[in-house]
Structure 1
Amino acid sequence: MVTTTATQSILTSLGAGSGVDTASLVASLVQAQFAAKNASLTKQEDALTAQISSVAKVQSGITSFASGLKTLVQGGTLVTQPTSSNTSVLTATALPGAKLSGLAASVEVTQLATAQVATSASSFSGRDATVGTGNLTLTFGTATVDSGALTGFTAGAAQPVTIAIDSAHQTLSGIASAINAASAGVTASIVTDANGTARLTLKGATGTNQAFTLSSDTPALSALNVGVGQSATTIGSAAGNAQLKLDGVSVERSSNSVSDLIEGVKLELTGTAVGKPVTLGNTKPTAALSQAVTDFVDTYNQLQAVLKTETDSTTGALRNDNNATSLARALRALPLTTLATGAAAGDPINLASIGVSTNRDGTLSVDSTKLNAALSKTPDAVEALFANGTGATGGGIAAALDAISTAAVDQKVTINGNVEHIGLVGSTALYTAAKTKVTDAEAKVTTDTAAYQERLTKQYAASDALVAKYKASQTTLTNQIAQWNKTG
């Protein structure tokens, strides 16, 4: 700061002796000295900033495209879905990877799976009423219930679960919290009536084998006991299996959510209809697949437009970026990439075979006539092209695009034992590191500029002082000569 102030002071006084505008002269010399360097660094920085921005734009485009397509495929709208003739009794959905073409089944639901529910017969003054301390033990098995009471119980193979009730949990709400914290398969809640009295309610999981007893080891907690001959609680619902018939064959399941009865189908049982079977069929996603192809082509063309601009051989910021140009090549090959393996002869195996073609400018277009024909003639094969698979080829369009995206964005390779990131992530790192060097160089130029200006300022200040001294001597001599002439 002192040096800068001193330099400014010198600059202010420059020219006083010589009459030359040395301040402007110094400024011009300094600017001329570093103009080319500054211009070069500014150009480099602008180019690197543009490259970093372009990489981000391309990376965002391909990752958004890949993730959006993956979400669409995983959403299930592009696969054949099961149908139910009576959704008030049961609903049906496709499981991942299911092939439901030709699905036809009859399901009769005669009983829903139920859970045992036990409620304390005695009421308490409120949630914070003190009950007592001790241990509660949950035992699971099968039970018989009659008129709200357990009349029989057979313990299962599972080990009983003991829940400690200490002084911090001796209230009704504390006991409920302790039971829930045990995560033993029984949930506890407190029901409070209009008068403020409260009861503890225990609910197990559905299924015949999920009946339970609750026993205590202290008299204070016996008011919550659940078991044969116990009057402390009443059984509002008994544990039971769902009972249904698949094509006339009787089966039972412990849950109302059934995924192992019909291959590829998940059933949600919501009601009963004795003697009235529900018919299961299937519906093809024809309209969804047609829209998906159109949306894919539109998004592809948008991404290709970005790549075309950014990799333009003359004006593109990424014209020399191998990762960006490699991505453009990989995308151009996508319409001919095999997306389904094991297809029958004549079935479509890639996008080109369902009417997606590449135009001369690199964009894609859809032949709707060819697409509709494929959807009509080989709907299962078209659906297979959008299957939720894995791998660059043979796993569906989403997997193929995801493989391209992964390779383009952040492919990892091992070089000399070190894992290196290549792809667009590597490009960003390269450009960022180069920009940091430019920034450092700019900082050095700023420092060098200040030092050069200070040096020139001091040099011209010294010269100006010398000229002023000479001019003073000249004035003195002139005055002396004039005096001599006057005297003579």
Structure 2
Amino acid sequence: MATITTTTSTPTPTPTPSATSTANVTKNAAQSILTSLNTGSGVDTASLVSSLVQAQFAAKTAALAAKNTKLTAQISAAGTLKNTITNFSTALGSLTAGGTLQSQPVSSNGSVLSASAISGTKMGNLSSSVTVTALASAQGARSAAVDSRTTPIGTGKLTLTLGTATYNTAGTAMTAFTAGSTAAVSIDVTNGSIDGIATAINAAKTGVTASVITDQDGKAVLSLKGTTGSAQAFTLKADTAGSPLEQFNVGVGKGTLTGTAANAKLTVDGVDVQRSSNTISDLIPGVKLQLNAVSGSAVSLTSSRPTTALSQAVSDFVETYNQVYASAKDMTNAITGDLKEDAAAKTLLRSLQGLTTKTMASASAVGAPTTLAQIGIATNRDGTLSVNTDTLNKVLAAYPDEVEAMFATTSSNALGLNSSLSGISIAASSSLSGLGASTARYTKAQTDLTSEQDKISAQSDSMNTRLTQQFSSMNSKVSAYKASQTFLERQLKAWEQNS
């Protein structure tokens, strides 16, 4: 199982200015007024207004910035945690679907008979003997050659009927036919070329397929092929006597056959059986057979247990679980966690903590394990997991089917580990109650903050304009007062000099 590495960074929050720092800005602004007035050079309006506006809105701006930083961290943490559990579930699903954690059948002669495990089923200790005496075959037929694929031959209706048939010794002609329970199918031929006839037959979807083959002389031949099994023989008949379509008739004494419909015949552990296909899944529990050739002697089937692979899978699961758990625990830490108040993150953590005691398989015998804890996966004091190798080996030896069942694929085992982890992942990703919903909530809150910041910016601009106008007017008056003062001072000096 792939190791999942997660990295989260917690931005350092911007401290909210205290009342003292805000007062200092105001004090400095006031001092700037006095200093400017004493100099007699006028007020530095741009600097003064900037300082006053900053003092007015500094606390609100800093508070919004701090909230935005927190929301950004929450959005990042929620996305990271959701991806982490999803990747964990996907990795486990890929591992179980690969078939390496399931017992596999072994054929002594793969050229005659190959076998594979049916996913999600219990095969047990396999020991069977199979002799293949005949392969399943399909009826085939060919028409006489015509000069062109596209030249119109005739239009009308053909009727195709499925059933059972007997054939001559060479298998080239049908000697008898009995219709089956499936209703005959009427095929409407509107494009009367041989290509059009093939298209019409295929469109009927009866299980009989048609193709057009060009022979060595450049002429076209209609080839028909049914499906395997003795009940899949077929006849094809033009509805109208004397129709040009009659040259494509297939039936008793009509048409040239290229194959006959027959069942596969084999002997399984001394019992003679027949099947309509060479792929058989209902003879040996948990095993799919593929018949490849007739055998001169019996083929033995045994099984190979994936003990080593299961043991490794348990270790890999525990290692990856611990990484995911550590990430979830860190993010929900009551003091430092970015998701310490997030209900979905806390639910995910609790779900992970409950995996070892959750039922993962049905008990097939007294004492058979049904939980991860019973196969040797223990929960440590800090919440992480560890593997008791001795316990695991004993359980694998005594109850291999039950351990395999715990790791079976989701579709075949609703109780298994794969299903359980998949359920946790789906719940965590939910846009209604999971981390998906949390992300949407944090994102909306961040959007609302942007709107608040825009309002503050508008208010700041308005105050800036107003103060600039006020101080500009004041500056003009002060300048006028200073001009009058200068005039009076000069007059007084002139009077003193003349007195």
Normalising by structure 1, we get a TM-score of 0.84
Q: State the SS of the aligned residue for 1:110.
A: strand
Distance in 2, Cα, partners of 1:31 & 1:25: 10
TM-align CA RMSD? 3.1
* Cα gap change, 1:165 to 1:487, in 2 (>3 Å): farther
| Residue 400 of structure 1 pairs with residue 420 of structure 2 | yes
Partner letter of residue 87 of structure 1?
A: G
* Cα gap change, 1:447 to 1:176, in 2 (>3 Å): farther
Among residues 192, 196, 210, which one is paired with 1:188 in the alignment?
210
Q: Which residue of 1 aligns with 2:313?
A: 292
Q: Is the 8 A contact 1:18 1:467 kept in 2?
A: no
5+ residue gaps, structure 1: 1-14, 412-420
Distance in 1, Cα, partners of 2:481 & 2:396: 101
Q: Is the 8 A contact 1:122 1:223 kept in 2?
A: no
Q: Which residue of 1 aligns with 2:23?
A: none
Q: Is the 8 A contact 2:120 2:412 kept in 1?
A: no
Q: State the SS of the aligned residue for 2:289.
A: strand
Q: Is the 8 A contact 1:391 1:403 kept in 2?
A: no
Q: State the SS of the aligned residue for 1:422.
A: coil
* Cα gap change, 1:352 to 1:469, in 2 (>3 Å): same
Q: State the SS of the aligned residue for 2:133.
A: strand
Distance in 1, Cα, partners of 2:50 & 2:84: 48
Report the Cα offset of residue 486 of structure 1: 11
Q: Which residue of 2 aligns with 1:87?
A: 110
* Cα gap change, 1:184 to 1:477, in 2 (>3 Å): farther
Q: Is the 8 A contact 1:18 1:464 kept in 2?
A: no
Report the Cα offset of residue 236 of structure 1: 0.7
Report the Cα offset of residue 460 of structure 1: 2.2
Partner letter of residue 56 of structure 1?
A: G
Q: State the SS of the aligned residue for 1:262.
A: coil
| Residue 120 of structure 1 pairs with residue 140 of structure 2 | no
Report the Cα offset of residue 428 of structure 1: 2.1
Report the Cα offset of residue 203 of structure 1: 0.9
| Residue 129 of structure 1 pairs with residue 129 of structure 2 | no
Q: Which residue of 2 aligns with 1:165?
A: 189
Report the Cα offset of residue 30 of structure 1: 1.7
Q: Which residue of 1 aligns with 2:468?
A: 457
Distance in 2, Cα, partners of 1:408 & 1:324: 8
Distance in 2, Cα, partners of 1:390 & 1:200: 43
Among residues 53, 56, 81, which one is paired with 2:76 in the alignment?
53
Q: Which residue of 2 aligns with 1:445?
A: 456
Q: State the SS of the aligned residue for 2:164.
A: strand
Report the Cα offset of residue 149 of structure 1: 2.5
Q: State the SS of the aligned residue for 1:317.
A: coil
Q: Which residue of 2 aligns with 1:228?
A: 252
* Cα gap change, 1:35 to 1:194, in 2 (>3 Å): farther
Q: Is the 8 A contact 1:391 1:400 kept in 2?
A: no
Superimposed CA distance per residue, residues 345-369 of structure 1 (whole angstroms, 9 cap, x where no aligned partner)? 4443332333322334332222333
Q: Which residue of 1 aligns with 2:200?
A: 178
Distance in 2, Cα, partners of 1:128 & 1:18: 104
Q: Which residue of 1 aligns with 2:440?
A: 429
Among residues 357, 363, 376, which one is paired with 1:355 in the alignment?
376
* Cα gap change, 1:281 to 1:448, in 2 (>3 Å): same
Partner letter of residue 470 of structure 2?
A: Q
Q: Which residue of 2 aligns with 1:154?
A: 178
Distance in 1, Cα, partners of 2:488 & 2:412: 99
Superimposed CA distance per residue, residues 253-276 of structure 1 (whole angstroms, 9 cap, x where no aligned partner)? 1111212222332222121114x1
* Cα gap change, 1:124 to 1:26, in 2 (>3 Å): farther
Distance in 2, Cα, partners of 1:380 & 1:154: 47
Report the Cα offset of residue 62 of structure 1: 1.6
Q: Which residue of 2 aligns with 1:6?
A: none
Q: Which residue of 2 aligns with 1:308?
A: 329
Superimposed CA distance per residue, residues 64-112 of structure 1 (whole angstroms, 9 cap, x where no aligned partner)? 2233323433443323232222221222223344222133222211111
Q: Which residue of 1 aligns with 2:403?
A: 382
Among residues 192, 204, 219, which one is paired with 2:226 in the alignment?
204
* Cα gap change, 1:370 to 1:134, in 2 (>3 Å): same
Q: State the SS of the aligned residue for 1:123.
A: coil
Q: Is the 8 A contact 1:52 1:432 kept in 2?
A: yes
Among residues 251, 270, 279, which one is paired with 2:300 in the alignment?
279
Superimposed CA distance per residue, residues 285-311 of structure 1 (whole angstroms, 9 cap, x where no aligned partner)? 212211110111111011022113322
Normalising by structure 2, we get a TM-score of 0.82
Partner letter of residue 293 of structure 1?
A: V
Distance in 2, Cα, partners of 1:380 & 1:144: 46
Give me the identity figure in percent. Answer: 50
Partner letter of residue 439 of structure 1?
A: T
* Cα gap change, 1:163 to 1:474, in 2 (>3 Å): farther
* Cα gap change, 1:462 to 1:194, in 2 (>3 Å): farther
| Residue 44 of structure 1 pairs with residue 64 of structure 2 | no
Superimposed CA distance per residue, residues 149-183 of structure 1 (whole angstroms, 9 cap, x where no aligned partner)? 333222222222122222xx333333322222221
* Cα gap change, 1:345 to 1:225, in 2 (>3 Å): closer
Q: Is the 8 A contact 1:131 1:220 kept in 2?
A: yes
Distance in 2, Cα, partners of 1:391 & 1:228: 47
Distance in 2, Cα, partners of 1:71 & 1:37: 51
> How many residues are aligned here?
458
Superimposed CA distance per residue, residues 412-435 of structure 1 (whole angstroms, 9 cap, x where no aligned partner)? xxxxxxxxx323233223222322
Q: Which residue of 2 aligns with 1:33?
A: 56
